[in-house]
Amino acid sequence: MHRTTVLLASLFILLFSFHKSFAQLPLSDQATVSLLTCGPGNELYSVFGHTAIRINDPLHGMDVVYNYGTFDFDTPNFYLKFVKGDLQYFVSTSSYEDFVYTYQYYNRDVYEQQLNLSPDQKQSIATDLSTTLISDKRFYTYKYFDRNCTTMVADVIDAHLEQKISMKNKDEGKSYRKIVIEYLDNSFYENLGISLIFGHKTDRKMERLFLPQQLLEGVSNTLTSSGPLSQPPVTVFKSNAVKHTSLWNNYYTYAVACLLLIVSSKNKIVNRSLLAIFGLLGIFFSFVGFYSYHAEIAQNYNALLINPLFLVVLYFIFSGNDKGTKYASYICLACILCYLLYMVTKPHLIIILPLLALITVLLLRITTTGLAFLQGSDINFVKKN
């Protein structure tokens, strides 16, 4: 056992020394630095695409891809950490051949832009990436808009340029929310969930390139003192996937579901259940911003629609307080009116409309019918006794 431990320790020191010296290895004049942009995948975490950076030096037999989008699903409390905003991502490496093969296997586009950099710039980027890989800097706390695989690569390139990468791209001038909605056009329920969970800070205009396609276009549109920052993008692999329209994951099934709930909300059990569900969701929307480090989900005005006060309405219903039930419902309706006025200019208004109609009808039914409807036979039982 002791010999094995010593052997492993020696091997670790040898590998560490190799990496240390490799980080200082001068690149040849044949070396290139490229931006790699990958198309979207089927999973939610991959639907926006991916960015990586390639260092290729054929003279030294080096062809490495640095990937800032690595995370460990086996991290304890993975989903709680993700919601809280302290999930650690890290940079990893693979050979260029393995990287491309992975995206070919998953049938996702791969584009390459070779950067027009000076030898000193190439060397400093390669050294920066290599030293990061063997230090604590390889870990970073993921942030949806501000710190992800794309922004981390952009920061590496920016740090070694005379000027910043151009912000000129097809999403320029749009809000973060509008951009996300457009990218999730074929994933309706994911779009609905993100539209509801994101707060008002998502409505600000895009301040930095945070998606792979944006960075590709920004790099293409960047001019340096010596000319374009990159050569035109080259297609390494083109996906042959065909986009299919889902039979269930779309606006129509959602609208029909809301309509069915409107009709069935005449039933007191359904009515109470909806109040409880929406009330609990309202508490989540209202207070998750205090728990999470994600600035995007703080100060969520969608809580004016999916309101924690629904639980107050429910309390008055069960306590038999007709006046309290109606007053609390009127307050909720006033919140919805404020919400609607605020939402007029927001890009997710159309997405929210069926849900807004459902909740409005739910509250109007309470204010017009009162406890006679909501408690039914329970009221009669109380009167007889």
Same domain, 95 and 233: yes
Residue 127 confidence (pLDDT): 94
Which of 212-216, 322-326, 373-377 has the weakest average pLDDT? 373-377
125 plus 211 within the same structural domain: yes
Regarding whether 296 and 221 lie in a shared domain, the answer is no
Q: Is the pLDDT of residue 80 over 80?
A: no
**Domain presence at residue 101:** yes
Q: What is the pLDDT of residue 169?
A: 96
Q: Kindly list the distances between the CA atom of residue 161 and the CA atoms of 124, 149, 157, 226, 377, in Å, as whole numbers in the listed order.
A: 11, 19, 7, 12, 75
State whether 210 and 138 are in the same domain.
yes
Residues 260 and 161 in one domain: no
In 3D space, the residue among 123, 68, 67 whose CA is nearest the CA of residue 99 turns out to be 67
Lowest mean pLDDT among 2-11, 152-161, 208-217: 2-11
- What's the pLDDT tens digit per position in 133-148? 999 888 988 888 989 9
In this structure, is residue 122 part of a structural domain? yes
Where is 76: in which H helix or E strand?
A: none
Q: The whole model's pTM is what?
A: 0.85
**pLDDT score, position 220:** 97
Is the pLDDT confidence value at 377 over 50?
A: no
Per-residue pLDDT band at 292 (split at 50, 70, 90): confident
Give a yes or no: residue 372 inside a domain. yes
Q: Provide DSSP, 125-173.
A: HHHHHHHHHTSGGGEEE-BTTTBSHHHHHHHHHHTTSSSPPP--STTTT
Residue 191 maps to a domain: no
Confidence band, pLDDT 50/70/90 cuts, at residue 76: confident
Domain co-membership, 112 together with 233: yes
User: Is the model more confident about 377 or about 181?
Assistant: 181
Instruction: Give me the CATH number covering residue 60.
Output: 3.90.1720
Considering the chain, what is the average pLDDT of its residues?
A: 86
Residue 17 pLDDT grade (very low, low, confident, very high; cuts 50, 70, 90) = very low
Q: Is the alpha carbon torsion for 321, 326, 331, 336 positive or negative?
A: positive
- Answer yes or no: is pLDDT of 19 > 50: no
- Whether 144 and 47 map to the same domain: the answer is yes
Q: Which residue, 215, 237, 259, sits at the end of a domain?
A: 237
Q: In what order do the strands lie in the sheet with 139-141?
A: 139-141, 88-95, 62-70, 50-57, 32-38, 110-114, 234-237
Q: Does residue 15 carry a pLDDT above 50? A: no
184 vs 21, residue with greater confidence? 184
Residue 8: pLDDT band (50, 70, 90) is: very low
Residue 310 in domain = yes
pLDDT above 90: percentage of residues in the chain: 64
Q: Is residue 79 part of a domain?
A: yes
Using pLDDT thresholds of 50, 70 and 90, give the confidence band for residue 16: very low
Residues 128 and 232 both lie in one domain? yes
pLDDT attached to residue 373: 58
Same domain, 215 and 109: yes
Name the helix (H) or strand (E) containing 248. none
- Is there a single domain that holds both residue 129 and residue 226? yes
Q: Which residues of 163-182 are buried (b: 16+ CB within 10 A; e: fewer)?
A: eebbbebebeebbbbbbbbe
Is pLDDT larger for residue 244 or for residue 214? 214
**pLDDT higher than 60, residue 381:** no
Q: Residue 17: inside a domain, yes or no?
A: no
Which DSSP symbol is given to 230?
Answer: B
Per the domain annotation, does 299 fall within a domain?
A: yes
First CA to last CA across the chain, in angstroms? Answer: 80
Residue 166 sits in the same domain as residue 105: yes
Distance CA 198, CA 301 (A): 9
Total domains present in the chain = 2
Instruction: Give the tens place of pLDDT for each residue, 336-363.
Output: 999 999 999 999 999 999 999 999 999 9
Domain coverage including residue 141: 25-171+206-237
Residue 293 pLDDT:
75
H or E element: which one contains 19? helix 2-23
Q: What is the pLDDT of residue 141?
A: 86
111 and 213 share a domain?
Answer: yes
Position 368 pLDDT exceeds 90: no
| Most confident of the following: 66-70, 95-99, 225-229, 321-325 | 95-99
pLDDT at 370: 63
